[in-house]
Structure 1
Amino acid sequence: MPIIEKRTSSGNKWDEESWWGVYSLARARSACRNWHACSKTYPLNPSPSKPHPWFLALPIRNHKSRCYAYNPVINNWYELSLEFLPVPVRPVSPIGSLLLLRITNSTILQLALCNPFTRQCRYLPLLNISRTNPAVGVVVLNQDVQFPSFRVYVAGGMSEAAQGGGATYEPTAEMYDSQFDRWQIVGSMPVEFAVRLTVWTPNESVFIEKVLYWITSARVYCVIGYDIFTNTWKELSVPMAERLEFATLVRRNGVLGLVGGISGGNACIWEMKDGGVWGLTKEVPDELGLRLLGRNKRNWNSTKCVGNEGAICLYRDLRSGMVVWTKVEDKIGVWKWIWIDGCGCIKGQQVPNYQIRGILIQPTLASSTIF
């Protein structure tokens, strides 16, 4: 959330400060030249009380270089142009108010950062090892809007064999540090994990304390964890793994969580308890689950999920709507289930029903040194 300082007639700064949402600030900037200049002059900092994240819906096949954003404060959808991006992309992960992207017009992994609200973009340096389809994980060290600090980990993938030609699975991991703007090899990994992370793992990751987690769907779902300090790998089981039709890792209450849809049953949320044991936390209410699935009752195959510490969203496509489990403001530890209508039309114009990837992101119009 940007900040605009308030001053007395004498020019002294008041003790109180006024916080504007990104939508309000955008409207203020377009009001007149004076307001535009004023909003550019004062420092822009994140709000001390975390604002509601926006749901960013990016069409999987990058249709006409656009995406769609849902503002939960005023319950409205917007269309955002992505024409400022030089090449087709797919989202990997949010990094505070930024979006980590994968370039899709190359088989070799190359990553970029952008702010879809300020239309800024930059490529990350090339990896030390050219990799195809590795797992990507993100560790955010701080979410300062102007001076973000983060690391990106890449594990596995296919690489060209050093001798004899052909391709092979790459049993190493490397890390990009935003403070130094370069990649470095950080260690080796079991070949079996390299294969599974390459073939059976989406790019979503969750970081809990010192471990990065990915979920893999090889045969049945399981979780692979990577300790970034000791460079050690481990495997965790998944509750009801044989019956899950979709599964996504989330972070909730500072611990590892898992959202999955059970064949012929409900979608459930589990949390990792002490001793590495999964405990059932919640089930999606029947009426909301059936509303999301429509005629495909109890078939969760097409369901996707994205979550953070404040919300967990289950969705299918752009127009189908979302089931959301979200924190209740001003009530510690209290969560509620809500329904959010999908994006059917914007400004009276019907929107095609795209297949999407959802991202929860804190929007900002502040500039960042990362660009």
Structure 2
Amino acid sequence: MWSNLPSDLLANILSYLPPHSLARAMAACRRWHDCGRSTAGDKSHHTPWFIALPTRSSKFCFVHNPIESTWHLLNLDHVPSLTRPMSTIGRHGLILFKSTGGVPLRLSVCNPFTGQFHHLPPLRKPRTNPAVGVIEGSPSRARPGFQLYVAGGMSEAASGGAASYEPTLEVFDSKSNKWTVIGSMPVEFAVRLTVWTPNESVYSNGVLYWMTSARAYSIMGFEIGSNKWKELSVPMGDTLEFAALVTWGGKLTVVGGVRGGNVVVWELGEGGKWVTVDRMSTELGNRSVSTKCVGIEGCVCLYKESGSGMMVWRRDEDHKNKWVWNSIEGCNRVNGKRVENYPIRGLFLHPNLTISTFDQEPRLINYKQLSASE
């Protein structure tokens, strides 16, 4: 029966396989290999994987398979030195890297599963330490698309002068592979985005949001359609131990840790009012003892910087309208070997084994690495 299936139907079936199973299937024969290579459709039906990138090195990363509850080690030797992870383009299976060392920002993308790495073109306005936001389009079989927004940052110093804050915003479109300056922004917002904003962003209902890292926490938003900026308060923003932005059912959501070990989840409701949608028990909160949080649509993770343990909040498989917290063992044991206290940066993405259109000379996918059991 399998040999008689049309190639497009076989490719669609293979697209539902998790990466470790797809890797095994692609090793069966050349036809299955070619069909597996073409599975570039929407990966939203896959459970996102947690990626733990050691902050002291960019030469490897740990990935957690939530289906089999196993950890794997992926080699990132192809990632140049003087680069650091910023965030993910999650539905496309890409990690977004930035240059370091005080030079003007240069962004790159990497697929940790296929070994592809690609530098994006230089910005139109050279700048350092801006806020970067990601807007993802639905991946298509022909050309997956996404946009990157860069706002604020320090501009290059003119000869004999001092550097200043760059009050402009520009956007990169992956389909055209070009940056475009789309307008100016208030200098006050440029300063805050440069000094107080981490790299993670959230896109919801036409607005790109960033969370400031200075207490009291606040949220800065850019309305894509009108090119207008706005500011939102954060519930209990002056008392939270940590706060992070995620999306939950497409809505802007804040996950925050309060004193005493509680973790609360708020959703932005009608009229800009915050509504409590979930609360982690004090017992679980004390176990997480975390100031690190990362999320993707459908999943939120609280983790320790050392990577020794984490709490994951995701939809219950048996009750689709119910979300539950679960504890998973951290990335301190891979292939039977114990990894001691690596500080990590946690990210989520949907694994993708598709060859990117960015890469003119794609590397060979290490299928054995993905299919190896713990």
- TM-score, normalisation: structure 1: 0.89
CA separation in 1, counterparts of 2:322 and 2:147? 32
Output one character per residue of 1:253-310: Cα deviation in whole Å (capped at 9) or x when no partner: 11100011113351111110100011111111222212222xxxxxx5xx21111221
Q: Which residue of 2 aligns with 1:171?
A: 167
Q: Tell me whether 1:243 sits opposite 2:243 in the alignment.
A: no
CA separation in 1, counterparts of 2:20 and 2:324? 25
Contact (CA 8 Å) 1:25, 1:39: kept in 2 or not?
no
Q: Which residue of 1 aligns with 2:85?
A: 91
Q: How does 1:1-371 map to 2 (within 5 A)?
A: 6-8=2-4, 17-18=13-14, 19-29=16-26, 35=28, 37-42=30-35, 43-46=38-41, 50-62=45-57, 65-95=59-89, 96=91, 97-144=93-140, 147-162=143-158, 164-293=160-289, 300=290, 303-329=291-317, 331-371=319-359
Contact (CA 8 Å) 2:49, 2:63: kept in 1 or not?
yes
Cα offset for 1:24?
Answer: 1.5
Output one character per residue of 1:219-251: Cα deviation in whole Å (capped at 9) or x when no partner: 411000001221110111111111011110001
CA separation in 2, counterparts of 1:130 and 1:10? 49
Contact (CA 8 Å) 1:292, 1:320: kept in 2 or not?
no
Q: Residues 20 and 224 (structure 1 numbering): CA distance in 2 closer, same or farther, change over 3 Å? A: same
Cα offset for 1:143?
Answer: 2.4
Output one character per residue of 1:142-184: Cα deviation in whole Å (capped at 9) or x when no partner: 2236621011000000012447521001111111111111111
CA separation in 2, counterparts of 1:267 and 1:199? 26
Cα offset for 1:358?
Answer: 1.0
Q: Residues 181 and 262 (structure 1 numbering): CA distance in 2 closer, same or farther, change over 3 Å? A: same
Q: Which has the higher contact order (CA 8 A, sep 6+)?
A: 2
Cα offset for 1:20?
Answer: 2.4
Q: Residues 348 and 214 (structure 1 numbering): CA distance in 2 closer, same or farther, change over 3 Å? A: same
Secondary structure of the residue that 1:264 maps to in structure 2?
A: coil
Contact (CA 8 Å) 2:44, 2:350: kept in 1 or not?
no
Which region of structure 1 is more displaced relative to structure 2, 9-18 or 305-314? 9-18
Letter of the 2:281 partner, please give it.
P
Cα offset for 1:51?
Answer: 1.1
Q: Residues 331 and 143 (structure 1 numbering): CA distance in 2 closer, same or farther, change over 3 Å? A: farther
CA separation in 2, counterparts of 1:251 and 1:12? 33
Letter of the 1:27 partner, please give it.
R
Cα offset for 1:92?
Answer: 2.0
CA separation in 1, counterparts of 2:177 and 2:183? 19
Q: Residues 15 and 9 (structure 1 numbering): CA distance in 2 closer, same or farther, change over 3 Å? A: closer
Cα offset for 1:73?
Answer: 0.3
Q: Which residue of 1 aligns with 2:363?
A: none
Cα offset for 1:346?
Answer: 1.4
Identity across the alignment (%) = 47
Q: Residues 172 and 49 (structure 1 numbering): CA distance in 2 closer, same or farther, change over 3 Å? A: closer
- TM-score, normalisation: structure 2: 0.88
Q: What number of residue pairs does the alignment pair up?
A: 354
Output one character per residue of 1:65-84: Cα deviation in whole Å (capped at 9) or x when no partner: 11100000000001111101
Contact (CA 8 Å) 1:148, 1:370: kept in 2 or not?
no
CA separation in 2, counterparts of 1:17 and 1:92? 33
Contact (CA 8 Å) 2:43, 2:350: kept in 1 or not?
no
CA separation in 2, counterparts of 1:49 and 1:138? 17
Q: Which residue of 1 aligns with 2:366?
A: none
CA separation in 2, counterparts of 1:106 and 1:167? 12
Cα offset for 1:122?
Answer: 0.6
Cα offset for 1:316?
Answer: 0.8
Cα offset for 1:332?
Answer: 2.9
Report the structure, 1 or 2, having the larger helix content.
2
Which region of structure 1 is more displaced relative to structure 2, 280-289 or 116-125? 280-289
Secondary structure of the residue that 2:2 maps to in structure 1?
A: coil
Output one character per residue of 1:11-65: Cα deviation in whole Å (capped at 9) or x when no partner: 99689935422101223455xxxx25333322324467711111000112226x1
Cα offset for 1:127?
Answer: 0.3
Q: Residues 204 and 49 (structure 1 numbering): CA distance in 2 closer, same or farther, change over 3 Å? A: closer
Letter of the 1:70 partner, please give it.
H
Letter of the 1:340 partner, please give it.
I
CA separation in 1, counterparts of 2:133 and 2:6? 50
CA separation in 1, counterparts of 2:124 and 2:195? 21
